[in-house]
Structure 1
Amino acid sequence: ITPPYHDNPQTALEARGDVMKIAAGCYGLQGNFLQVCKNYQAQVMALAQKYSAIEQEFPPLWPIELFKSINYFSDYPHQVILTTTPQENHATRAQFAADYHKNQSFERIEMNSAMEPAAFGLAPMVCGCCYFTLRNRRGVTNTIYTTYNKVFRNERSTIDSLDRLTVFSVRDIVFVGDSDFVLQTRQQLIDDLCALLQQWGIESKIETANDPFFSNDAIYKNIYQYKHRTKYELLARLPFCDRYIAIGSINLHQEYSGKTFDIQTPEGHHAHSGCIGVGFERLTYALYSQYGPDERQWPAEIARPLGF
């Protein structure tokens, strides 16, 4: 299928109310756009269920300890979003209430001595809590988990669109165990993601280190020679600006998480791990960018599975 659309669908999606801007990088969704987004979510959940993944649910807050464990503040300082509260005393809270009454003129809250030091940050990825809850665990056998959450990063679009968001939805499938299990599971999930990309009809590719190794017209080429590369990105094309955006990632952590959180296998070795993640707003936005905002004009093989 050749995607026929070449304009940014954002204007039409906002005009009909499917996409509602709340703030820079933050959007509400409803209508057909949300229907497609939910459909994709269900399909990725079904993929997790195919592997009998253990479903998990976590809060969207990380304790500072988790950020520190993976050196996130040093590696990604530009993406950090921290949370805090007013100091825990009556006088400070009363002053805070007066300073920020709705009748006062303000657009931002000053981070000053009236505020507590941050004990939490907003989760910048989905899989972190999965590893954190396995810390100091012994006898960890080959296991697959899945979890869905909102992700928060200090970034936003340069074109005021859904191509880059401060808040977005991701489902991860996480696999933990011995090296052979992790490599095999990752390969199987790559194959399954390839099949989904073909089924969705989205012009896309999987790329590692800016080196594309397959695309839609050759999606089942031999990729085992790349099995030791640690990170791939799932990229979808935006025809209106002729560039690709990441709609997901495939990560191989090797022993990193096992060593960081002291997760050990029954043999006493540090566990290997990996994960795949799919971001649903970008995925859906890519579909609308390629086929347009009018679902009635979509090819039947694209529209029918999505309920149109």
Structure 2
Amino acid sequence: MSSPHAVTYTVSLERLDPSQHGQVKYASAFVDEHIDEVRLEGSLLVIAHRSPGGNERIAAGVEKLIERFSHGDFGFKEHILFEHRGPAPYRGDIIAELIESKAIKVLEPGLFIFREPFSSLLRFLDDTFVQRIANAFGAKQESYPAVIHLSTLDKTNHFTSFPEHLHFLNHLRDDLDVIESFSESVREAGGWKEDAPLDLNKTMPKPRFAMNPSTCYHCYEGLQGETLEGDGIVVTAVAKCHRYESKNHSDFGRLLDFSMREIIFVGKPEFVRENRLKAVEYLKQLAVEWEIDCIIENANDPFFTNDFQVKASFQRNQEMKYEMRLSIPYIGKTIACSSVNFASTAFGSAFDIKMGKRPATTGCVGFGLERWVFAFLAQFGLNEDGWPAAFREQYHAWQTKTR
């Protein structure tokens, strides 16, 4: 049966506050698995699709999302903590240049192989964030697996806040007949085929793991049931994180698989709050030193479920999340490259981490390493002669030291 011809559905988002348009665009990619593209043209949402249900199905799903975002008092509090206008001299399409120079290899949207100089810049930035920020807090290094128990994700409320991100991990059943039958079917088909019939109930058990979507979850899992001493602890780790985001992976910097360095604070409320504010100051210092064009502002997580408004409004009004957003000159937008988060006692309670008799407070600072490289190169290009002097000098010193 041939696929339906691509058609376009267009709807006005004028009923919504412009600050919500991006979230509706993001969520619309999940309306139907036959969507090819979602884009914004001013206040118009345009969806190209091949849905067997036609525009009627797409319209019904989008209307449901518009209703979700338009009801009630959204309370979208705006607060810019810091703004730094850097020169951002480069105006070219950095993705096209990286592909042409073979510095990156695109396997599919959101999934890349990184080569020099991109791969070196990744390591330099990670080392710098450790040396300049994590070490300033006396953070202890930890190393985490790339997979996570579903029971752990359940405690973080990931299933009820970001269900669309989930990348389940599974395996063939511990059954010789199943394993041999699977292998033989692939051999007979001449290799693995994407459309190969695969009876999941027969060949695979119920999954117990998922790919890890956030570095800090493992930290809380590792502290489960413990009572901490003093004011608290600070740890740091870098991990490969995985989030499925449908057609949104075609957006600049939105990766399926990415590296997240985090600095995690667990302890008394004052300890976490004070260190969180110090982290913001360290980010400001780097922005000025490296001449980065950016802002730091309060933000909210892109909650996917029907209680989006309640959760997002609470986060913004309580200023529980700040984002450092770097400008991408050639597309005229910004992307979040770092976040500074305050979770209160949510994770302390969920994982039974205590300070004395009370649940521990937690917070974290995250650095999306690939996004940092993409954004830096988008502002300054691949030619090192155009990089800010301080950044270039530090990068060359790091190269000399690591050779």
Q: Normalised by the size of structure 1, how large is the TM-score? A: 0.89
Are the structure 2 counterparts of residues 108 and 300 from structure 1 closer, same or farther at C-alpha, using a change threshold of 3 Å? farther
In structure 2, the partner of 1:256 is 346
Q: How much does 1:149 deviate?
A: 0.4
What is aligned with 2:7? none
Offset of residue 209 of structure 1: 3.3
* Matched residue, 1:281: 370
Structure 1 residue 100 and structure 2 residue 186: aligned?
yes
Query: What amino acid sits opposite 2:163 in the alignment?
Result: P
CA contact (8 A) 1:156 1:166 kept: no
Backbone CA RMSD of aligned residues: 2.1
1:39 and 2:124 correspond: yes
Deviation at 1:78, TM superposition (A): 0.7
| 1:217-237, Cα deviation, whole Å (9 max, x unpaired) | xxxxxxxxx995211111111
Q: Pick one of 101, 112, 126 that aligns with 1:16.
A: 101
Deviations 1:241-283 (CA, angstroms, capped at 9, x unpaired): 11111101111011111111111113x1111110000011011
Shift of 1:155: 2.0
Larger Rg over CA atoms: 2
* Cα distance in 1 for residues equivalent to 2:93 and 2:251: 9
- Give yes or no for contact 1:176–1:273 (8 Å, CA) kept in 2: yes
Q: How does 1:266-305 map to 2 (within 5 A)?
A: 266=356, 268-305=357-394
Please name the residue that 2:148 is paired with. Answer: 62
Q: Does 1:90 align with 2:176?
A: yes
Shift of 1:111: 5.9
Partner of 1:246: 336
CA displacement, residues 97-152 of structure 1 (integer Å, 9 cap, x when unaligned): 12233723612664611112111000000000101111111244411010110110
* SS of structure 2 residue aligned to 1:240: helix
Aligned pair partner of 2:233 in 126, 139, 143: 143
How many angstroms apart in 1 are the aligned matches of 2:272 and 2:318?
11
Partner of 2:354, secondary structure, is: coil
* CA deviation after TM superposition for structure 1 residue 22, in Å: 2.3
Which protein is richer in helix relative to its size? 2
Map of 1:79 onto structure 2: 165
Q: Where in structure 1 are there 5+ consecutive unaligned residues?
A: 211-225
Residues 19-77 of structure 1, C-alpha deviations (whole Å, 9 max, x = no match) = 11223211111211222221111111112122111111110100011111122112111
Q: Does the CA contact (< 8 Å) of 1:156 and 1:165 recur in 2? A: no
Post-superposition, which runs of at least 4 consecutive aligned residues in structure 1 deviate over 6 A?
none
Higher relative contact order structure (alpha carbons within 8 Å, sequence separation ≥ 6):
1
What is the Cα deviation at residue 6 of structure 1?
A: 1.6
CA contact (8 A) 1:25 1:156 kept: no
Q: Which residue of 2 aligns with 1:213?
A: none
Whether the 8 Å contact between 2:249 and 2:255 is mirrored in structure 1 is no
CA distance in 2, matches of 1:48, 1:111: 47
Gaps of 5+ in 2: 1-85, 301-315
Would the alpha carbon gap of residues 305 and 71 (structure 1) be closer, same or farther in structure 2, given more than 3 Å must change? same
**Partners of 1:144 and 1:206 in 2: how far apart?**
23
The alpha carbon displacement at 1:200 in A equals 2.3
- Confirm whether residue 29 of structure 1 aligns to residue 119 of structure 2: no
8 A Cα contact 1:156 1:164, kept in partner: no
Structure 1: distance between partners of 2:254 and 2:390 = 28
Number of matched pairs: 292
